[in-house]
């Protein structure tokens, strides 16, 4: 298999890392820049334990990867994300979460207790939080998004990047010292939430079309004066139930019509259901098509907003060494690969739009190292061999069995709920988050970009 420039770059980075980050031929192997600390802003990719409390901690989780030091099983299963790897490489203290706590389910079952007071940790400077977006405070896992009848609610705080930066400035006296290494990584949750909202809208449109079609087909042969109203009411009541499906809604409407005297409803159930289902599908697809441009625009806005924050609230406030990672190619993640081809293309466009606006907004600044994770992650997915990756499509963690993983997330993925076999060189822990091995690859690539800037 061909050795790509990205793969070669990672190999070069590994050599640089082993030699302290400088030219291995030189006598002094210490980094060129002595950073005073690492400060990180962003989302789950950088989070080192915001939610490592309560039920998450009880299950051995806390980071979005394969948690825990399992190096006795395989050297790659370190349990570390890329910020921890970089800190260790640069001789900095292991990063710790600036805030911890959860606002979710309170339970007497320790493994399901996600209600833990919020605590601010004065001497910790990793502000990244799982679910965090660029400026919107409501991200994946936030209790505001939980269904009213949900039995388990994580209650992630999802403090957005704009507030994370403000919190650090308040802690640091309104400015950066200029000797920190600042790492910024965000945008993934903006993709997921925009995609979720689009899906919800399409589902609503499809549901409306389903009921309309059922009423249109059943009402003419229903002798009751209020037949149309009763059929629609029965369908809507079923639709409102937790766990309802298109088939159960169709069944409720047909039953209501039959009870009102429609003698052909049951006999024609198959045809009626197929027609209504087709109408629902068409309506959902039309909604997605009509509104896809809106979510792309929203991602462009988020990318531009992140660039402004980096320029005006980080660099302008005194930071001299700022790593800005662009958004990895989420379209190649297992959770997106499980969607339709159109959805995969839409996600790819959302990522590209976010990154284009981010890069344009940052411009060419000697104090900023713009790291193209999108390109390298895409190349890893299509050309895994040179990177040492053995699987780029499946999840290393069990995510579809609540008895083994109640959150369906790598946040509580440990040695106890891995799939069978050797997963040490998998790319993904869950549907979107990396394994420790992939995080190590990311760290190496970032270190190489820092070396190119002359920082190490």
* Amino acid 225: pLDDT: 87
| Spatial CA neighbour of 429 closest among 437, 69, 344 | 437
pLDDT at 147: 85
- For 224, which DSSP code? S
Contact 372, 328 (CB under 8 A): no
Residue pLDDT, tens place only, 74-88: 999 999 999 999 999
Cβ distance 355 to 374 under 8 Å? yes
Cα 152–Cα 132–Cα 427 angle in degrees, nearest 5 = 85
pLDDT for 238: 96
Give the side-chain half-sphere CA count within 13 A for 426: 25
pLDDT for the residue 12: 53
CA angle in degrees (0–180, nearest 5) for 301-305-307: 120
Query: If you search the block for the tokens 């921890």, which residue do you land on?
Result: 84
Contacts for 275 with CB less than 8 Å, ≥ 6 apart: 213, 217
Nearest CA to 347 among 208, 192, 133? 192
The number of beta carbons lying within 10 Å of the beta carbon of residue 235 is 27
Name the pTM for this structure. 0.91
Q: List for the chain the helix, strand, coil content (%; round to 5).
A: 50, 10, 45
Backbone angles phi, psi at 159, to 5 degrees: -60, 125
Give the residue extent of every domain in the chain: 5-17+34-193+292-452, 201-283
Q: H helices of 222-340, where?
A: 227-239, 246-259, 269-309, 334-337
User: In this structure, what is the dihedral angle of CA atoms 310, 141, 53, 96, given to the nearest 10 degrees?
Assistant: -10
What architecture does CATH give domain 5-17+34-193+292-452? 3-Layer(aba) Sandwich (3.40)
- Which token pair is 46? 């950088």
Model pLDDT, residue 31: 63
List the chain residues with pLDDT less than 70: 1-31
Query: Which among 361, 362, 373 is positioned nearest to 325, based on CA atoms?
Result: 373
* Token duo for residue 248: 């159960």
């Amino acid at each position: 298999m061909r050795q790509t420039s990205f793969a070669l770059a990672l190999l070069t980075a590994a050599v640089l890392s082993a030699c302290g980050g400088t030219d291995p031929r030189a006598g002094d192997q210490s980094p060129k820049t002595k950073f005073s600390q690492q400060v990180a802003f962003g989302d789950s990719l950088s989070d080192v334990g915001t939610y490592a409390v309560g039920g998450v901690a009880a299950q051995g989780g806390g980071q979005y990867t394969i948690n825990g030091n399992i190096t006795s099983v395989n050297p790659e299963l370190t349990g570390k994300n890329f910020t921890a790897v970089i800190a260790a490489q640069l001789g900095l203290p292991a990063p710790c979460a600036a805030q911890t706590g959860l606002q979710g389910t309170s339970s007497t079952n320790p493994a399901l207790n996600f209600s833990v007071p919020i605590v601010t940790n004065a001497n910790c400077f990793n502000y990244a939080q799982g679910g965090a977006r660029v400026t919107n405070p409501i991200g994946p896992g936030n209790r505001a998004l939980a269904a009213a009848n949900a039995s388990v609610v994580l209650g992630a705080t999802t403090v957005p990047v704009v507030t994370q930066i403000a919190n650090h400035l308040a802690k640091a006296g309104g400015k950066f010292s200029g000797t920190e290494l600042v790492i910024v990584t965000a945008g993934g949750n903006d993709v997921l939430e925009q995609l979720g909202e689009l899906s919800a809208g399409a589902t609503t449109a499809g549901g409306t079309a389903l009921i309309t079609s059922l009423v249109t087909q059943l009402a003419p042969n229903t002798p009751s004066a209020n037949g149309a109203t009763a059929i629609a009411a029965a369908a809507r009541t079923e639709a409102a139930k937790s766990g309802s499906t298109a088939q159960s809604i169709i069944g409720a409407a047909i039953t209501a019509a039959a009870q009102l005297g429609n003698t052909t409803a049951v006999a024609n159930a198959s045809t009626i259901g197929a027609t209504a289902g087709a109408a629902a599908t068409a309506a959902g697809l039309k909604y997605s098509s009509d509104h896809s441009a809106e979510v792309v625009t929203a991602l462009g806005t988020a990318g531009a907003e992140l660039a402004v924050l980096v320029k005006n609230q980080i660099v302008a406030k005194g930071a001299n060494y700022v790593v800005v990672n662009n958004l990895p190619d989420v379209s190649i993640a297992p959770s997106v690969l499980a969607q339709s081809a159109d959805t995969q293309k839409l996600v790819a466009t959302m990522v590209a739009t976010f990154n284009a606006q981010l890069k344009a907004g940052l411009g060419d600044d000697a104090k900023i190292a713009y790291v193209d994770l999108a390109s390298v992650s895409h190349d890893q997915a299509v050309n895994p061999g040179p990177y040492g990756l053995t699987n780029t499509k499946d999840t290393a963690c069990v995510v579809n069995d609540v008895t083994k993983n109640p959150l369906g997330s790598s946040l509580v993925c440990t040695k106890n709920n891995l799939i069978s076999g050797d997963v040490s060189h998998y790319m993904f822990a869950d549907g979107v988050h990396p394994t420790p091995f992939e995080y190590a690859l990311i760290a190496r690539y970032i270190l190489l970009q820092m070396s190119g800037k002359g920082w190490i």
